[in-house]
């Protein structure tokens, strides 16, 4: 027996002499998925895949198919095919054992032709509601062709050049759930490294692969040789150490497949390693209570799904009582904000933390404001705007603290509000601007552009709140914005205002407050504010921007007009002119309307339907032309659903205001559904809109389940490019669910609730709206994806029930990367001074993206806001402007802006044979040109003052007509009458008979003419000239008795005769 134990001891000693790297070998476990489809029946779906649609149909199906002989790069006979001829998405998904470490996925992929917008491969969690990676066929920003991309929360990052049709490509994807990153290989080449997961997988593992075709566009996808297998667990690389006084700190890189780490130590070579720490989740460890001067040996191993990794090479380190200090932080930068200073710096090697000190005088004395900073940035808050602060920074690790950095001086600045109530008064060749003063502003920049396109250019910097822009062109549109400014900063630009200068010529001003809406099938109705001194109105229309306007309504005595017999689905442009006895005034703003099929809903049975849902159901699926559903005033208690296939629907309330048409229901999350289970928050909606391109106007959507029940959604908005204008959304908790990674625009609206009453992951802008808190709670609970923009409140107002003080927070993060921004928003005293909430999780403070800029009101002050929220700079705020936030790949811009058409129909020049017409005045329309006898008529040329006007010249005999047509269709006509010196007497007689020369001057000129004629016939040139000069002197002596035009005409003849 002793011999046996002796043999065992020898065996153990032999094993102990084997290098540690040979102790463990990677496991060769079978893959979770290994699909090559060769043994499966053709034209049938693989049984272990979840497929859609279900049931399948002939044009949308998943099946095993023959590998097309025309394809290149795959010798297999069979593959899985997602066959899609359009109409709906074809999907294939497969679930496998959840993996929390590192997994590798490989597959071969081919498409016979480009299946653009396909999400052809995704890694998901078991439930399928979270996505780690989405490979898609998209057009990257700025490119015209579809190619392989990965989705970066709305952005598409290019992986390769566009794939070739019929070409097979081999993909290899290594996904690490610990680091939440992915490496992507295509045909053996690493094309993307450490791509961040789309969603938070901290509580989920990867357990599903998925693929989806475009749906509406169609396209076939082929897959073969699909494998999913765990990556072998490897020991961490890059192990290094720094020594301190009686302690050592170890650092290492992430090991493949590692879920945690073990630290092992020995004090002499040849000794057995002892595990001193196990299941460490970090990539650093501090070993303490060591003996200075003693050398220690360390290794770190990884723990994976299948056990512990092999041993790496050891390192040795010796603690000391004189350790080396960390380096001094360098390249510190600062951003001055409203009551905040944001500091950033380069990381110091091996630093564990940083110490920030601050002073109010150069060179101190300094006070420590934070000595446990673990990041390379810090926001100092609660500062006094305009006061300069002085900062120094040092680094710390186990060896001690570094020397301080160079001093950095920073002055926080107060954000300026944009000027409001900007007005523009049109005057003769000028525009008078005025606006409200902005607190903190010392000057204002007035900017102008001459078109609705392009950028504004600085016109003038003024100290007051008024400015008159002069030497303008009457009838030409001008657009203005005002910016408030001081020495430190400036505001956002004001809302643009458009105006056309106008002479005080008695003509009426242009009509304002023009609205357009659908009335009946193929009809559009316009209404506008009545114009003072207008006798009637003219309405003009054009069918395309490159066509001229034509009159469709004239001599309208009321400010309303209905245009009929229009083509449904077609967009039309309109302008309106007011007219009186002085002439036609300038055109109104241009309005656009789309003729549409109209469906009417009325509770009393007078419409097409009595319920809203019945009208929605009547809309054709995948409708491409807008259909307007007019809802008569009344209360409609029904649960309404607009599925994603019911696109391009408008719901328009027909009451005087949104409170007159109410869509209401009373479900809540605890309501028992048809299956006997609680329906949950998502299905508690009163109205669900899944469809894209939806519009709601002038109505109320309400959930009246009550404040004492569970979550109750009024509106669940889940479609892209949705617009809600002048609507009321009424509820308590969870009033508005704006979600599903889409874009929505809420304008001139009212939303009320208490807890999280605006929530979800949509990109949504709330513009000029009232957000009303009915009880204590949180305004928002955004679940924004990591790189998306979430909720933007712009020029809005936060109000509350009377008596509510410090009881509501601006938002809390439903998901870690929640993004909510308030810009130029008034906040009542119900908002708590610190503003925000981290949902009880301090980790959210490092990921949530909460910002404010130039807010006002009792709670708009930034002084007490949390340091993990941000007061935006001007540049940062500009990135959140509605038109930028909502643009997307299709440049969607639902923000309405005023567009004025040019009404100027004036000539800037008139030439005869290339020479300017003598005494040309753009405002004079009639000319008489005297030519020597028997001289040919000159060539006429004319240029319009506006580059958008059209000039046409026609001539008949000795009369010429120059017609100028402005952009909006207004016309001016200039006439030229050519006469010769032989026509002197005839012209004089006509001017007297027309009343342009009055007595006694008419008699005096007639006598002078007769005397001239008498001497001219006798050949007495000197006497004839004498009486011509007398004729001219008499005209000049009595200007009140002769019109300017008559004077100029006769003057021309006289000068020609004298010259002769």
pLDDT digits (tens, 9 = 90+) for 171-183: 999 999 888 999 9
**Alpha carbon distance 266, 84 (integer Å):** 63
Q: Is 3.40.50.620 the CATH number for 33-230?
A: no
pLDDT over threshold 80, residue 155: no
Angle in degrees, 0-180, between the axes of helices 1001-1018 and 1021-1037, rounded to the nearest 10: 170
pLDDT at 237 over 50: yes
Q: What are the residues whose beta carbons fall under 8 Å from the beta carbon of 801, sequence distance 6 or more?
A: 772, 773, 774, 775
**Any residues with CB less than 8 A from the CB of 947 and at least 6 apart, and which?**
none
d(CA 535, CA 578): 7
For residue 392, which of 367, 412, 375 has the smallest C-alpha distance? 367
pLDDT for residue 30: 78
Task: Give the model's confidence band at 932: pLDDT under 50 very low, under 70 low, under 90 confident, else very high.
Answer: confident
pLDDT digits (tens, 9 = 90+) for 43-52: 999 999 999 9
Considering only the top CATH level, what class is 597-671+681-738? Answer: mainly beta
pLDDT greater than 70 at residue 948: yes
Partner residues linked to 30 by β-bridges: none
Q: What is the mean predicted confidence (pLDDT) over 535-555?
A: 94
**What average pLDDT does this structure show over 346-362?**
96
Handedness of CA 563, 567, 569, 571 (dihedral sign): negative
**Res 104 pLDDT > 90:** yes
Place of tokens 């679940």: 783
Residue among 577, 592, 697, 398 nearest 971 (CA): 577
Q: Which residues of 1005-1039 are buried (b: 16+ CB within 10 A; e: fewer)?
A: bbebbebbeebbeeeeeeebbebbeebbebbeeee
* pLDDT on residue 29: 64
Which residue do the tokens 């938070």 mark?
200
The length of the chain, given as a count of residues: 1060
Residue-level pLDDT at 95: 96
Q: Where in the chain is the domain with CATH 2.160.20.10?
A: 597-671+681-738, 764-891
Rounded mean pLDDT, 402-431? 96
Residue 869 pLDDT level (bands cut at 50, 70, 90): very high
Whether residue 561 has a cis bond before it, omega within 30° of 0: no
CA distance 773 to 762: 21
CATH number for region 423-499: 2.60.40.10
Q: Quick one: tokens of 390? A: 């002085």
Of 571, 888, 880, 505, residue with least CA distance to 721: 888
Q: How many helices (H) and strands (E) does the chain have?
A: 8, 75
Q: Tell me: pLDDT of 36 over 80.
A: yes
The answer to whether the beta carbons of residues 98 and 207 sit under 8 Å apart is yes
Q: Is 556 exposed, middle or buried (0-12, 13-18, 19+ CB in 10 A)?
A: middle
More reliable by pLDDT, 636 or 201: 636
Question: Closest by alpha carbon to 25, among 308, 327, 408, 226?
Answer: 308
Sheet arrangement for strand 247-251: 240-244, 247-251, 284-287
Q: Across the chain, what does the average pLDDT equal?
A: 92
Structure tokens at 787: 């790189």
Q: Tokens 């990965």 — which residue?
A: 150
**What's the pLDDT at 143?**
82
Angle ∠(433,435,441) on CA atoms, nearest 5 = 120
- Domain 240-317: CATH class, spelled out: mainly beta
Residue 367 CB neighbour total at 10 angstroms: 10
Distance, CA of 903 to CA of 906 (rounded, Å): 9
The string of pLDDT tens digits covering residues 752-811 is 999 999 999 999 999 999 999 999 999 999 999 888 999 999 999 999 999 999 999 999
Catalytic residue set: 756
CA–CA gap between residue 472 and residue 317 (Å, rounded) = 80
- Chain position carrying tokens 């040309």: 920
Please tell me the distance from the alpha carbon of residue 909 to that of residue 946, in angstroms, as a whole number. 11
d(CA 508, CA 580) in angstroms, rounded, equals 7
Cβ burial 664-703 (10 Å sphere, 16+ → b, else e): bbbbbbebeeeeeeebebbebbbbbbbbbbbbbbbbbbbb
Residue ranges of the chain assigned to CATH 2.60.40.10: 240-317, 333-410, 423-499, 515-594
Largest CA distance in the chain: 165
Instruction: Tell me where in the chain the CATH 2.60.120.200 domain(s) lie.
Output: 33-230
For residue 276, the tally of other CB atoms under 10 A from its CB is: 14
Q: CB 653: neighbour CB atoms within 10 A? A: 25
- For residue 402, give every residue at least 6 positions away whose Cβ sits within 8 Å of its Cβ, in sequence order, or none: 325, 326, 327, 328, 329, 348, 351, 394, 395, 396
The CATH topology of domain 764-891 is Pectate Lyase C-like (2.160.20)
CA 342: distance to chain centroid? 26
pLDDT surpassing 50 at residue 20: no
CATH code of the domain occupying 333-410? 2.60.40.10
From the list 839, 825, 774, 764, the residue with the least C-alpha distance to 802 is 774
pLDDT tens across 1035-1050, in order? Answer: 888 888 988 888 888 8
Distance CA 617, CA 601 (A): 12
CATH architecture designation of domain 515-594: Sandwich (2.60)
pLDDT tens per residue across span 713-765: 999 999 999 999 999 999 999 999 999 889 999 999 999 999 999 999 999 99
Whether 621 has a pLDDT exceeding 90, the answer reads yes
Instruction: Write down the residue that tokens 């130029």 correspond to.
Output: 824
Dihedrals φ, ψ of 483, to 5°?
-125, 130
What is the pTM (predicted TM-score) of this model? 0.78
Residue 21: its pLDDT value, please?
Answer: 34
Angle, in degrees to the nearest 10, between helices 984-993 and 1001-1018: 170
Angle at 614 between CA 608 and CA 616, to 5 degrees: 100
Q: How confident is the model at residue 421 (pLDDT cuts 50, 70, 90)?
A: very high
């Amino acid at each position: 027996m002793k011999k046996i134990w002796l043999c065992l001891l020898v065996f153990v000693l032999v094993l102990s002499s084997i290098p540690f790297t040979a102790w463990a070998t990677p496991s060769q476990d079978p893959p979770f998925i290994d699909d090559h489809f060769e043994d499966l029946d053709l034209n049938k779906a693989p049984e272990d895949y979840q497929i859609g649609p279900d049931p399948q149909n002939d044009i949308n199906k998943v099946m095993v198919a023959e590998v097309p002989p025309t394809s290149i790069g795959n010798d297999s006979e069979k593959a899985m095919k997602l066959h899609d001829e359009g109409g709906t998405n074809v999907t294939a998904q497969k679930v496998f054992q959840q993996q929390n470490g590192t997994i590798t996925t490989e597959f071969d992929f081919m498409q016979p032709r480009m299946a653009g917008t396909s999400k052809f491969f995704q890694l998901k969690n078991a439930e399928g509601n979270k996505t780690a990676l989405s490979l898609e066929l998209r057009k990257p920003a700025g490119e015209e062709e579809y190619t392989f991309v990965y989705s970066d929360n709305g952005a598409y990052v290019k992986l390769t050049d566009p794939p070739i049709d019929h070409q097979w490509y081999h993909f290899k994807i290594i996904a690490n759930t610990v680091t939440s990153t992915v490496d992507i290989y295509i045909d053996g080449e690493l094309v993307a490294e450490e791509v961040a997961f789309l969603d938070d997988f901290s509580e989920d593992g990867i357990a599903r692969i998925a693929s989806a075709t475009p749906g509406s566009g169609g396209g076939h996808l082929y897959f073969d040789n699909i494998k999913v297998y765990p990556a072998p667990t490897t020991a961490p690389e890059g192990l290094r150490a720094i020594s301190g006084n009686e302690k050592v700190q170890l650092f290492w890189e992430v090991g493949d497949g590692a879920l945690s780490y073990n630290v092992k130590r020995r004090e002499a070579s040849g000794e057995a390693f002892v595990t001193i720490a196990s299941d460490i989740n970090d990539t650093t460890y501090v070993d303490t209570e060591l003996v200075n001067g003693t050398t220690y040996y360390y290794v770190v191993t990884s723990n994976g799904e299948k056990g512990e990794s092999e041993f790496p090479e050891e390192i040795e380190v010796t603690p000391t009582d004189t350790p080396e200090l960390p380096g001094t932080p360098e390249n510190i930068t600062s951003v001055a904000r409203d009551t905040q200073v944001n500091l950033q710096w380069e990381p110091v090697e091996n630093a564990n933390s940083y110490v920030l000190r601050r002073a109010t005088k150069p060179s101190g004395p300094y006070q420590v404001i934070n000595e446990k900073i673990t990041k390379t940035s810090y926001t100092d808050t609660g500062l006094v705007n305009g006061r300069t602060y002085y900062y120094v920074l040092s680094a710390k690790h186990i060896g001690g603290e570094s020397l301080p950095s160079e001093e950095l001086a920073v002055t926080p600045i107060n954000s300026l509000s944009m000027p409001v109530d900007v007005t523009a008064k049109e005057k003769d060749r000028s525009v008078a601007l005025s606006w409200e003063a902005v607190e903190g502003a010392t000057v204002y920049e007035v900017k102008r552009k001459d078109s609705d396109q392009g950028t504004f250019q600085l016109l003038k910097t003024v100290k007051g709140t008024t400015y008159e822009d002069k030497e303008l062109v009457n009838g030409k549109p001008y657009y203005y914005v005002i910016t408030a400014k001081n020495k430190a900063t400036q505001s956002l630009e004001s809302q643009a205002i458009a105006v056309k200068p106008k002479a005080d010529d008695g003509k009426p001003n242009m009509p304002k407050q023009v609205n357009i809406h659908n009335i009946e099938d193929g009809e559009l109705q316009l209404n506008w504010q009545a114009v003072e001194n207008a006798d009637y109105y003219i309405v003009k229309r054009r069918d395309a921007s490159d066509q001229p306007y034509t009159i469709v309504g004239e001599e309208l005595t009321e400010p309303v007009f209905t245009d009929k017999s229009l083509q449904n689905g077609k967009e039309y442009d309109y302008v309106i002119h007011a007219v009186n006895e002085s002439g036609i005034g300038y055109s109104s703003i241009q309005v656009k309307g789309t003729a549409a099929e109209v469906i009417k809903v009325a509770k009393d049975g007078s419409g097409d339907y009595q319920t809203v849902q019945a009208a929605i159901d009547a809309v054709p699926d995948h409708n491409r032309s807008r259909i307007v559903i007019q809802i008569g005033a009344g209360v409609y208690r029904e649960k309404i659903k607009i599925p994603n296939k019911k696109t391009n629907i408008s719901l328009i309330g027909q009451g005087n205001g949104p409170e007159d048409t109410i869509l209401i229901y009373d479900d809540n999350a605890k309501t028992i559904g048809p299956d006997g289970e609680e329906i949950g928050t998502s299905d508690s909606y009163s109205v669900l809109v899944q469809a894209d391109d939806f519009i709601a106007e002038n109505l109320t959507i309400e959930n009246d389940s009550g404040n004492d029940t569970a979550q109750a959604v009024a509106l669940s908005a889940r479609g892209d490019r949705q617009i809600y204008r002048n609507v009321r959304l009424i509820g308590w908790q969870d009033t508005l669910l704006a979600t599903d990674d889409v874009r929505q625009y809420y304008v001139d609206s009212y939303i009320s609730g208490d807890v999280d009453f605006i929530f979800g992951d949509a990109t949504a802008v709330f513009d000029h709206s009232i957000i009303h808190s009915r009880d204590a709670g949180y305004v928002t609970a955004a679940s924004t994806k990591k790189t998306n923009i979430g909720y933007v409140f712009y020029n809005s107002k936060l109000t509350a029930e009377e008596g509510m003080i410090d009881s509501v927070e601006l938002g809390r993060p439903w998901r870690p990367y929640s993004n909510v921004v308030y810009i130029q928003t008034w906040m009542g005293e119900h908002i708590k001074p610190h503003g925000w909430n981290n949902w009880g999780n301090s980790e959210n403070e490092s990921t949530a993206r909460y910002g404010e800029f130039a807010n006002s009101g009792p709670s708009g002050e930034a002084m007490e806001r949390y340091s993990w929220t941000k007061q935006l700079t001007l540049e940062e705020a500009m990135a959140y402007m509605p038109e930028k936030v909502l643009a997307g790949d299709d440049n969607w811009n639902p923000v309405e802006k005023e567009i004025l058409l040019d009404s100027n129909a004036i000539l800037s020049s008139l030439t005869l044979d290339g020479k300017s017409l003598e005494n040309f005045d753009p405002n004079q329309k009639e000319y008489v040109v005297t030519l020597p006898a028997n001289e040919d008529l000159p060539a006429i040329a004319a240029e319009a003052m506006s580059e958008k006007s059209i000039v046409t010249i026609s001539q008949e005999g000795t009369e010429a007509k120059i017609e100028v047509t402005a952009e909006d269709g207004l016309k001016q006509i200039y006439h030229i009458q050519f006469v010769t010196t032989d026509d002197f007497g005839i012209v004089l007689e006509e001017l007297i008979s027309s009343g342009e020369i009055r007595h006694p001057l008419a008699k005096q000129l007639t006598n002078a003419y007769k005397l001239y004629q008498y001497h001219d016939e006798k050949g007495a040139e000197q006497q004839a000239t004498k009486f011509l000069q007398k004729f001219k002197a008499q005209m000049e002596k009595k200007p009140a008795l002769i019109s300017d035009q008559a004077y100029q005409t006769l003057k021309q003849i006289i000068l020609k005769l004298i010259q002769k």
